[in-house]
Amino acid sequence: MAAIILAPPIIYGYIYPNIGDDTAEHLKAFEEMDKEIFPSDVYPGIYSGQLHIGRAVNFISEVTDLDRNALFLWFNFVVLIVVAITTMGFAWRLANKWAGLITPFVLLFVSYSVISLFEHGVIFSVINMYILLPVFVLFLITWIESGKLWQLGALLVATALVSTFHTTSVYILPMTLVSSTVLIAYFLKKKKTAELKRTVISILPIIAINVLWFIYSPYFRTEEMIRQTANSIVTASPFSTIKPPTIIDLIMTYISPTVTMLFCLAMAKIRRGEIPERTKLALIILGSLSLVLAFGSFTRFTYDPTRIAFDLAGILVLAMCLIIGITIEQLRGKGCKLFRVVFASCILLGAMPVLLLWFNYSNAVKPADIMAMDYLNTKSNSTFAGSSYVAEHLYERYIKQTQAAENPDYYIERNEPMTPRADPKNYWFVEKPMPNLDNLVHTKTFLSGSVTIKIYERIQEVQN
């Protein structure tokens, strides 16, 4: 898995980790953290994960003299490796070895959810949902089962991390309320008094931590999201302008037909009476979170239903992998080897579309962009602007020039959208005004694949 994850940046020599805009914004925030005007005690930005990781990246860069951009690039890919390790341990512990073996590969390279989030640069969301959340769920279940105090302590630490690291922490409180209700009913039905008491004991601090963070958090984005969604629900006034996905969209675009087919096959073969108790608890918790995410995905009461749908798909895939792993282990007698071969073959075939894209040059910064950046870096410090298809905030990470809204010394024209924000098909696209080309002359053209980049320079600069 690590070889697959690390191969593209090594093969192609990426200077940027993905196709998205968010990575450049994170790097810009990291840069701001080094300035004297930046508050040393509180960062009133997006979320605490950005602050703590940013400070760590800046510290390592300062101590080792390594480039901040390169450090964060490799950090992104290492996160995927940690996701693979975490989800393997999660599934292995809560289901069996088969679930542990297939979950990382299915989640990253058969399903479309996590890799899409990675490609769009939302790496802190990936950390929260697929590293911290599985650890939180694992400690919650082990505490409910065994009741050891150190596990309760570990659960509280995991709760504090998953509830504060990223804006996806808004899922934790409603998930806790839904899952605790189901768990209490389940334990009452099974007459499991000890597990019932431990569930109640764990609920209170989890709720308290989330409520206190909401009240006292210095990060305005989380509070803004909660208030906006709550007000929309209370007033029955949907505010999102983005069309929610359908069930078909969820299967075809977010989860993948292969995973859905394997899950249906597993459900047809599984012996429900032989599902381990801890797997049932994991499915209850993941199912509760899925209900919360489904509400956000299929309604207009949240800021971006399509974004939440990726989280929904990832959690559903985790749950599906537990079921598939249990089913594979239950296969016995005549035909069991055939079914296992079928499962393995479907997983490998289903991964082909994602792997082909993964091993293709999947990056916002194309070779033509790198050549253009190298050319601009040979010029003296000056100003630049880009066409609507150029992600200026990304270019400024790698060139000496600074952005200029008017009368730039250099103008970059690109024939294809560089990132999602530079794509007219996306709702956040903003058309940029064209500069006065009468004062600019075309001096350079850079080509790579279907991408063409033209550089225009101010006439007086060329004459000098």
The per-residue pLDDT for 462 is: 46
Compute the 3-state secondary structure of the chain and give helix, strand, coil in percent, each to the nearest 5.
65, 5, 25
Lowest mean pLDDT among 77-86, 89-98, 223-232, 426-435: 223-232
Say whether both 245 and 393 belong to one domain: no
pLDDT for residue 75 is more than 50:
yes
Say whether both 413 and 344 belong to one domain: no
Say whether both 327 and 396 belong to one domain: no
- More confident call, 237 vs 307: 307
* CA neighbor of 161 nearest in space, from 141, 134, 193, 198: 134
pLDDT for residue 45 is more than 80:
no
Question: Does residue 292 contact residue 303 with C-beta atoms inside 8 Å?
Answer: no
* Boundary of a domain, candidates 359, 375, 408: 359
The per-residue pLDDT for 35 is: 64
pTM for this predicted structure: 0.93
111 — phi, psi (to 5°)?
Answer: -75, 155
Q: What is the mean pLDDT of residues 109-132?
A: 96
The per-residue pLDDT for 82 is: 98
347 falls in which pLDDT band (50, 70, 90)?
A: very high
pLDDT for residue 379 is more than 90:
no
Query: What is the DSSP pairing of strand 383-386 with strand 440-448?
Result: unpaired
Number of compact structural domains in the chain: 2
388-391 contacts at long range (C-beta below 8 A, 24 or more positions apart): 388/422, 388/424, 388/429, 388/430, 388/431, 388/432, 389/413, 389/414, 389/415, 389/416, 389/417, 389/418, 389/422, 390/414, 390/418, 390/422, 391/21, 391/24, 391/364, 391/418, 391/419, 391/421, 391/422
Burial 300-325 (b: 16+ CB within 10 A, else e): bbbbbbbbbbbbbbbbbbbbbbbbbb
Say whether both 33 and 135 belong to one domain: yes
Query: What is the DSSP pairing of strand 440-448 with strand 410-414?
Result: unpaired
269 Cβ contact partners less than 8 Å away, ≥ 6 residues apart: 327, 330, 331, 339
Percent of the chain with pLDDT over 90: 71
pLDDT for residue 435 is more than 80:
no
Task: Please report, for residues 112, 164, 427, the alpha-carbon distance to residue 52 in angstroms, rounded to integers and kept in the order given.
Answer: 28, 11, 31
What whole-number distance in Å separates Cα of residue 104 and Cα of residue 87? 6
Per the prediction, the chain carries an average pLDDT of 90
- More confident call, 381 vs 207: 207
Say whether both 286 and 414 belong to one domain: no
Burial 219-232 (b: 16+ CB within 10 A, else e): beebbebbeebeeb
Say whether both 354 and 380 belong to one domain: no
Lowest mean pLDDT among 4-18, 169-183, 219-233, 400-414: 219-233
* CA neighbor of 171 nearest in space, from 141, 196, 139, 137: 137
The per-residue pLDDT for 433 is: 78
Say whether both 98 and 130 belong to one domain: yes
Lowest mean pLDDT among 91-100, 188-197, 376-385: 376-385
Q: What is the mean pLDDT of residues 302-326?
A: 94
Question: Does residue 166 contact residue 49 with C-beta atoms inside 8 Å?
Answer: yes
The per-residue pLDDT for 185 is: 96
Question: Does residue 121 contact residue 20 with C-beta atoms inside 8 Å?
Answer: yes
Say whether both 257 and 374 belong to one domain: no
What whole-number distance in Å separates Cα of residue 52 and Cα of residue 441? 45
pLDDT for residue 455 is more than 90:
yes
What whole-number distance in Å separates Cα of residue 65 and Cα of residue 242? 44
Say whether both 280 and 154 belong to one domain: yes
pLDDT for residue 464 is more than 50:
no
Say whether both 430 and 293 belong to one domain: no
* Boundary of a domain, candidates 331, 359, 387: 359
- Domain hosting residue 80, numbered range: 2-359
* Boundary of a domain, candidates 336, 359, 382: 359
Structure tokens at 197: 């008491």
Lowest mean pLDDT among 35-44, 262-271, 408-417: 35-44
Say whether both 132 and 277 belong to one domain: yes
The per-residue pLDDT for 220 is: 63
Say whether both 344 and 392 belong to one domain: no
The per-residue pLDDT for 46 is: 67
461 falls in which pLDDT band (50, 70, 90)?
A: very low
